[in-house]
Chain A
Amino acid sequence: MPEQPFFVSVATVAAGLGRVRRIASELSLAAVNAKVISVRAGTQAAGFRPITDFIDEAARATEKLGNALEAGTLAVSRSAVSERRAADALRRLRRAAAGASRDETSLEAVIDRCDAARTAISKSMTRSIRTLDGLLDQISAHMMCISVITVQSRIEARQAGTYRPNLEAIAASMSSAAEQVTAIVQQSRLDLRDALAARVEHARSKG
């Protein structure tokens, strides 16, 4: 059975990262709840209230990063399909040229043009992958920030009297969101790395 094509691997990673957006909306809900409860709790949540701005900002930033990540992987996925098609065209042209007579050289220019187009696609894809790597770094760092906010939220929730369970629930949902995103990002990194390695290996084996 042939190995999984690179364009399938990247589409799979894109689908995984698409889940970050859904988790980001859970985080946004937590941010709204945090604000509502801290207002309702009044002085009991005096310590918690300043944190709600951070939660809000964290939710927005996660959503934005999640979007950028998904768009970035989709772009790589599209390039991977284009690269596959360009490589296919090139292979067929070369086969045609090999079968043509020795005097027939007009195909060479066509082949050169196709080769240049394929190289351009590959280069642009490499750039997109680098951007994606950067985004994965950013979101990982961002999830660590959310973990810090979660710890802070738990401490402040303890001082919130009757509102303690509500605020603790918010901290728990933030923590779970951060954990899920971190797990997705880690898995995506591994899958992307494997896919890239397989792509290099495939290119090498084809000479």
Chain B
Amino acid sequence: MHSLRASSTREAKDKRLKTYVLYEGLHRWIAFGRDPEKPERIIDTNQYLIRDGDRSLILDPGGIETFSSVLGAVICHARIDQITDLFFSHQDPDVASSLGMWDEALPTARLHAPWLWEGFLRHFGCNNLTYVPIPDEGGTIALPHVKLQLVPAHYLHSSGNIHVYDPVAKILFSGDVGAALEAPDAPMFVDDFSAHVPKMTLFHQRWMPSNRAKNDWIARVRKLDVEMMVPQHGRIFRGDDVKKFLDWFEALEVGIAVRHPGSSVLASKPAAA
């Protein structure tokens, strides 16, 4: 028998992002998260891939530090020439600082992002990609089997912020809304909503600036048929937990730094969103 010299201290599968198929029909939703190679003190992010025929769209591809992990994971599901579109919900570094690398990797792809941030996002390097500015009122992205709806979510938390709703899979990608701060190896799905609330409270109170914007968004989302709400951080909400989230968010007062400057909440300084 051939002798085996190869050894690895950790299994290769433990070095990849965890992968979850969220929807499988004529198109597919795949979630990636819990990067085991993520440097410490960087907020963990979830990335989503919508795979549809010869088109693939990555939602909030993430920061430069997790770029290798995201590319390595995504490319197991779509060839590089099949990744045709990127979407940025807003301009934050944990969403967009990998832009310069994607710009080299996908020179012919389109980048869908709020119009407001074009001049700012281009600072990350955007020489090859085509920037498709999303107007304030939203719009659509037509893939072969689904017309994705771009839902305005301004001031949640960014002043130019867009979410993505898939009316076929009934999935809402909610960016930083629904985010939770928790351990890097936390489960991917909410299984106990009440237990999950403390992990979300400070995040929403402090990062979300406007109660008016919040309520406006809730009214818009309540009109949608959402079976799964998938945020950029933390866990995915399914079924009834989506409704529970909207009710909880509605009752929560946000923008607390204005009302309580210097409070102990501000002193706790969690990793940035």
Give the B-binding residues of A (Cβ under 8 A). 1-2, 4-5, 7-8, 11-12, 14-15, 18, 21, 54, 57-58, 61, 64-72, 74, 77-78, 81, 84-85, 88, 135, 138, 141-142, 145
Nearest to A80 among chain B residues (CB) is B68
Q: What per-residue 1/0 map shows which CB atoms of B1-36 lie under 8 Å from chain A?
A: 110111110111101100000000000000000000
With a cutoff of 8 Å between Cβ atoms, the chain B residues found around residue A85 in the complex are 64, 101
Alpha-carbon gap, A14 to B72, bound state (A): 7
Q: Hey, which chain A residues are within 8 Å of B194, CB to CB?
A: none
CA distance A74 to B108 in the complex (A): 25
Q: How many A-B residue pairs have CB under 8 A?
A: 96
Q: Is B213 an interface residue when CB atoms closer than 8 A count as contact? A: no
- Candidates A2, A81, A142; contact of B107 at CB < 8 Å: A2
B252 within 8 Å of A (CB atoms) = no
Complex Cα spacing A67 to B13, Å: 7
B67 touches A5 (CB 8 A): no
Pair B72/A11 contact, Cβ less than 8 Å: yes
A64 to B5, CA, bound (A): 10
Interface membership of B104, Cβ < 8 A: yes
Interface of A is mostly: helix
Report whether A145 and B8 are in contact in the complex, using a CB–CB cutoff of 8 Å: no
Q: In the complex, A12 Cα to B107 Cα: how many Å?
A: 16
B207 to chain A minimum Cβ distance, whole angstroms, is 28
* Assembly CA distance A18 to B17 (angstroms): 13
In the bound complex, residues from chain A placing their C-beta under 8 Å from that of B68 are 7, 11, 74, 77-78, 81
Known: A4-B80, A61-B4, A78-B68. 19 other contacts (CB 8 A): A2-B128, A11-B80, A12-B79, A18-B16, A57-B1, A58-B1, A64-B4, A70-B12, A70-B15, A71-B15, A74-B15, A74-B16, A78-B37, A81-B101, A84-B101, A88-B100, A138-B2, A138-B5, A138-B6
For the complex, is B126 an interface residue (Cβ under 8 Å from A)?
A: no
For B2, the chain A residues whose CB sits under 8 A away are 61, 138, 141-142, 145
- Counting from the closest, the 5 A-B pairs by CB-CB distance are A70-B12, A68-B6, A71-B12, A67-B12, A81-B68
CB-contacts of B36-67 with A (<8 A) = 37, 64, 67
In the complex, A58 Cα to B71 Cα: how many Å?
31
Residue among B68, B79, B101 having the largest count of chain A Cβ atoms under 10 Å: B68
Contact A135/B6 with A57-B1, A67-B11, A145-B1 known, Cβ cut-off 8 Å? yes
Instruction: Using known A-B contacts A2-B107, A7-B71, determine if residue A15 contacts B76 with beta carbons closer than 8 Å.
Output: yes
Residues of A within 8 A of B7 (CB): 64, 68
**Most interface-central of B7, B8, B13, B67 (chain A CB within 10 A):** B8
B75 touching A15 by the CB < 8 A rule? yes
List chain B residues, Cβ under 8 A from A4: 80
A68: min CB distance to chain B, Å: 4
A153 CB, min distance to chain B CBs, angstroms = 14
**B105 interfacial contact with A, CB 8 Å:** yes
> What residues of A have a CB within 8 angstroms of the CB of B6 in the complex?
64-65, 68-69, 135, 138
Nearest A residue to B98 via CB reads A81
Inter-chain contacts of A71 with B (CB < 8 A): 8, 10-12, 15
Would A5 and B104 be within 8 Å (CB), given that A12-B75, A138-B6, A142-B2 are in contact?
A: yes
Alpha-carbon distance A142/B107, docked complex (angstroms) = 39
A-B residue pairs in contact (CB < 8 Å), sample of 12: A2-B107, A7-B101, A8-B71, A8-B75, A14-B72, A65-B4, A67-B12, A71-B8, A71-B10, A74-B12, A81-B68, A88-B100
Nearest Cβ in chain B — how far from A202, in angstroms? 12
Tell me the complex Cα distance, A1–B106, Å: 10
CB–CB B8/A77 < 8 A: no
B56 to chain A, nearest CB (A): 14
> Is the Cβ of B105 less than 8 Å from the Cβ of A7?
yes
Closest to A139 in B: B6
* Min distance, Cβ A141 to any Cβ of chain B, angstroms: 5
Q: Tell me the minimal C-beta distance from B66 to chain A in angstroms.
A: 10
Contacts of A18 in B (CB 8 A): 12, 16, 76
